[in-house]
Amino acid sequence: MSDSSAGHDDAQELPAAALAAFREAVGEAHVVIDAGTRRRYETATFATSARVPAIVRPGSVAEVQQCLQVANAHGVPVYPVSTGLNTGYGSAVPARSGCVVLELRRLDRILDYDPGLGCVTIEPGVTQEQLFRFLQERDAPFWLDVTGAYPGHSLIGNIAERGFGHTTYSDHYAHLGAMEVVLPQGELVGTGFGQYRDAKATGYYRWGLGPHFDGLFTQSNLGIIVKATLWLMPRPAYTQFFAARVDRDEDLPLLIEALKPLRLDGTITSAMHIGNDYKVISAIQGYPWEAAGGETPLPRDVLAAKSKEWDCGPWNASGALYGTRAEVALARRKLKAALKGKVSRLQFLDERLLGLAKRFARPYSWLTGLNLNEMLKMVEPVFGMTRGVPSAGMLPSNYWRKPGPLPAVSPDLSPEADRCGVFWIAPVAPTSGAHAAAVWAIVRDTMLHRGFEPAVSITLLTERTLDCVVNISYDRDVPGEDERAMACHDALLERLCAEGYYPYRLGIQSSGKMPPREAGWERLMAGLRRELDPNGILAPGRYLD
């Protein structure tokens, strides 16, 4: 790999014949080779070294196929991204140097929508915001599930990484009807019942007939998803948001154990999130440089003061209950009983109460204490996400360690361009208080020791597993921080894996640093790569070599 500080050298330029062929495939306007743009696609929220010789933007599935044919014919690897907003995991930067970025944002059509059964068929350029508006315009009785990242990120891109959100349909890959995929050599394949062009159940019944294999094209470089049918959550009659907290760090296991049976038996169907104090504070404000006297990591007393100011505990759970009012009332009673004596506070919020809180901040507010308006700024997008409303509200939190006040909320913020430092690492464990405590101890000790705030949210991701989403934030403009943060990332990843807590997805910063997998698994994957991509032109190094 080339040195990260080096400029663009000739060796990273596309051979003229390949460049001409890509232009032929997608049109000259959609092949970008200017240095500034290339640099942008080489920039993540951490140090990277991959060079991008060109960005190619096909406008149709046929053009995607042609691009792969060009790649094979000219031996030029391509790195597909949908909208490329994979912040904290590498953004649009290829896993290896020399890859042409194949950006799919021009494929942005909503191809089909079934208002009876809540299925929508989309292309990879379709964003959270776009589908949200589409459903709003139709007053659809269905919600999409959104993530807290960019409103403008690709839904298919997130499925491909098996991301998750906040509602009953939070596990995005689990709520998928069918895909169409372009294989590395350019062939188009439908998954599930897509094997038959005229099958009525394609997109409705996922497994199809014969081997079920759509997952081969998630977290992999075995194909490019160019179309997907997503399942949408039926809009419930009523939603009640809830928030609970414990006052002592050591009560985390208690909280997890209390919530576990409710998540397992379906009383709580939303992917509950349990954020720690660092996480909550960094979602509301920038680093309190003054109070901290310029020190990092955040001094304990400043953390305590900020927790008090923002009225958060060491662990703060939130989620939503869905159903008719009567159904939600029953679930609420169960939740209260389960948490009784275990949490220091349990609060509920619905749309009506939120409206009241906004109008009469003081006397009628459900939250007590200071800074209510500021807190509502955070609560409102989180509550919105439990109802499928995308929000840019979390974007400023990428600027935690940057000097000065946080930027205003805007979907156009670019933490990459603004030299924010952000890593995500997200280890998975069976849902249990003991596992949660073990993961948290590793994260806390490793990060504090290395000078970073252990901002964490623990998600009760499925009925049986939790995912501890760890955020390493820093300022790339501070000399040496890129290296220190990467060293912290590497140490944390190594310790988590050594204890058996492997991540559910990988950023490009993590791929090459994972422990070796079982030999049979490695050989099977190598065989599939060899069979499907004999020239190794599709995203080499992305999950698989």
CA distance 334 to 501: 31
- Compute the least distance from the CB of residue 111 to a second copy, in Å: 16
Q: Which is nearer to a second copy, 38 or 206 (CB)?
A: 206
φ, ψ for residue 182, nearest 5 deg: -95, 120
3-state secondary structure of 461: coil
DSSP string, 398-424: GGTTSSSSPPPP-TT--TTTTTEEEEE
Continuous segment of H or E residues that includes residue 234: strand 233-234
Residue 544 identity (one-letter amino acid): L
Is 108 or 499 the residue whose CB approaches a second copy more closely? 499
Residues 428, 502 contacting (CB under 8 angstroms) = yes
- With the C-alpha atoms ordered 397, 399, 403, 408, is the resulting torsion angle positive or negative? negative
CB of 515 to a second copy, least distance (A): 7
Nearer to a second copy among residue 119 and residue 140 (C-beta): 119
The answer to whether the peptide bond before residue 297 is cis (omega within 30 degrees of 0) is yes
Q: At closest approach, how far in Å is the CB of 82 from a second copy?
A: 18
Please, what sign has the CA dihedral across residues 52, 56, 61, 62?
negative
Q: CB-hemisphere CA count at 13 Å for 486?
A: 16
Q: Between 494 and 499, whose beta carbon lies closer to a second copy?
A: 499
How crowded is the C-beta side of 538, counted as CA atoms within 13 Å? 30
Find all residues with CB under 8 Å of 67, minimum gap 6, and list them: 22, 25, 26, 56, 58, 78, 102
Rounded to a whole number of angstroms, the minimum distance from the CB of residue 268 to a second copy is: 13
* Shortest separation between residue 276's beta carbon and a second copy, angstroms: 21
Dist. CA 444–CA 499, nearest whole Å: 15
Pick 294 or 520: Cβ nearer a second copy:
520
Q: Which is nearer to a second copy, 249 or 463 (CB)?
A: 463
Nearest 5°: CA angle at 165, between 160 and 171?
55
- Shortest Å distance, C-beta 468 to a second copy: 11
Cross-strand bridge partners of residue 471? 424, 455
For residue 369, give both structure tokens: 């204490």
CB of 542 to a second copy, least distance (A): 10
If the CB atoms of residues 101 and 222 are measured against a second copy, the closer one turns out to be 222
CB of 355 or CB of 500, closer to a second copy: 500
**Contact (Cβ atoms closer than 8 angstroms) between residue 428 and residue 164:** no
33/222 with CB nearer a second copy: 222
Give min distance, CB of 161 to a second copy, in A.
11
CA separation for the pair 5, 307 (Å, rounded): 40
Q: Rounded to the nearest whole angstrom, what is the least distance from the CB of residue 457 to a second copy in the complex?
A: 17
